[in-house]
Amino acid sequence: MLLTGPEGLKALTAAYETGHALPGFVAYNLESVQGIVAAAEAHPGRPVLIQAGSSPFKHAGREPLMRLALDAAAHSDAPLGVHLDHSRDLDEITACLEAGYTSVMVDGSHLPFPENIALTREAVRRVRDHGAWVEAELGALAGDEDVSTNASASVNVMTDPSQAAEFVAETSVDALAVAVGNVHGFTAAPVRLDLNRLAAIHSAVPVPLVLHGASGLPEEQLLGALSRGVAKVNVNAELRRAYLRAVSARLPAALPGSDAVGLWSAGRDAVTEAASRIITRLTPSPTS
């Protein structure tokens, strides 16, 4: 079922209050959407976000992917939100809200601080008009959202705790994405989050924090983030890698008979398996 904006915000708040996190899975095509939905259905009662956002729109087209994600959520028994990830375009934000998105992330992290505030304020106004919830970003992550390139956290612009407090107060966002050593994609060496900085941000702001670039994050680092205010975790590269490895393994058997369906199914199932592992790590069983 497609969560309403208030239901999605309630799920985010519940995760924040219990030291868990909503998984936000980036989707690019039919198979990745299906794989994410199947993983959510395998874990009843645990809310999941399908993140059909700006970068995947470049591949699939905004309207087709937007409709695909919304329809998949609406026709599932699992509690699913549909989230616009990393949008810098107010018209895109409005279009997704009008279509039925339950949350959006406005990304002004590339802008000077005052301009980030101004962009985020306008996005918040539009989001409120549609009953959704909004995430913003302060600080900047290294790496490419679509291609894992061994990015280094050394080039990150880290989130400043005092600036974060001012930003949240000025914009009234519902959640804040932060840069604390996390990067987009996999890295050659294990990621080490600045947990002290994360704790300081958590103390300074009254809203849930969001961790982008969680693919491949060591377990102790992930648990450290969840205990310091992170209540939404974005995963992209881990699903892409699972899909590509499954497709590559299936390809030799698929080629002789042109078995494209078998190839796509293998990729979809790999996404389901990877997403299921992450859901288990991030969210408690409803009966626990």
85 is catalytic: yes
Q: What is the mean pLDDT of residues 59-88?
A: 97
Contact between residue 71 and residue 103 where contact means Cβ atoms under 8 Å apart: no
Percent of the chain with pLDDT over 90: 83
Q: What is the pLDDT of residue 274?
A: 97
Contact between residue 121 and residue 136 where contact means Cβ atoms under 8 Å apart: no
**DSSP three-state, residue 62:** helix
Whether the pLDDT of residue 188 is over 70: the answer is: no
Q: What is the pLDDT of residue 251?
A: 95
pLDDT band for 192, please (50, 70, 90 cuts): confident
Q: What is the mean pLDDT of the chain?
A: 91
Contact between residue 176 and residue 210 where contact means Cβ atoms under 8 Å apart: yes
Q: What is the mean pLDDT of residues 139-162?
A: 64
- Better-scored residue on pLDDT, 241 or 191: 241
Enumerate the domain spans of the chain: 5-282
pLDDT band for 182, please (50, 70, 90 cuts): confident
- Better-scored residue on pLDDT, 187 or 30: 30
Q: What is the mean pLDDT of residues 195-211?
A: 97
Catalytic position from the list 71, 85, 129, 174: 85
CA–CA gap between residue 7 and residue 240 (Å, rounded): 28
Q: What is the pLDDT of residue 156?
A: 60
Q: What is the pLDDT of residue 152?
A: 47
**DSSP three-state, residue 110:** coil
pLDDT tens per residue across span 83-142: 999 999 999 999 999 999 999 999 999 999 999 999 999 999 999 999 999 999 998 765
pLDDT band for 150, please (50, 70, 90 cuts): low
Q: What is the pLDDT of residue 144?
A: 47
- Better-scored residue on pLDDT, 234 or 147: 234
Percent of the chain with pLDDT over 70: 91
Contact between residue 239 and residue 278 where contact means Cβ atoms under 8 Å apart: no
Q: What is the pLDDT of residue 89?
A: 96
**25: burial class by Cβ within 10 Å (0-12, 13-18, 19+)?**
buried
CA–CA gap between residue 137 and residue 175 (Å, rounded): 9
Q: What is the mean pLDDT of residues 205-217?
A: 89
5-282 is classed CATH 3.20.20.70: yes
Q: What is the pLDDT of residue 217?
A: 82
In the structure encoding, which two tokens stand for residue 143, read together? 């790496």
Amino acid letter for position 1: M
Give the CA distances from residue 284 to residues 22, 162, 177, 241, in Å, rounded to whole numbers and listed in that order. 10, 32, 22, 25
Q: What is the pLDDT of residue 143?
A: 47
**DSSP three-state, residue 81:** strand
Q: Among 57-66, 147-156, 275-284, whose mean pLDDT is lowest? A: 147-156
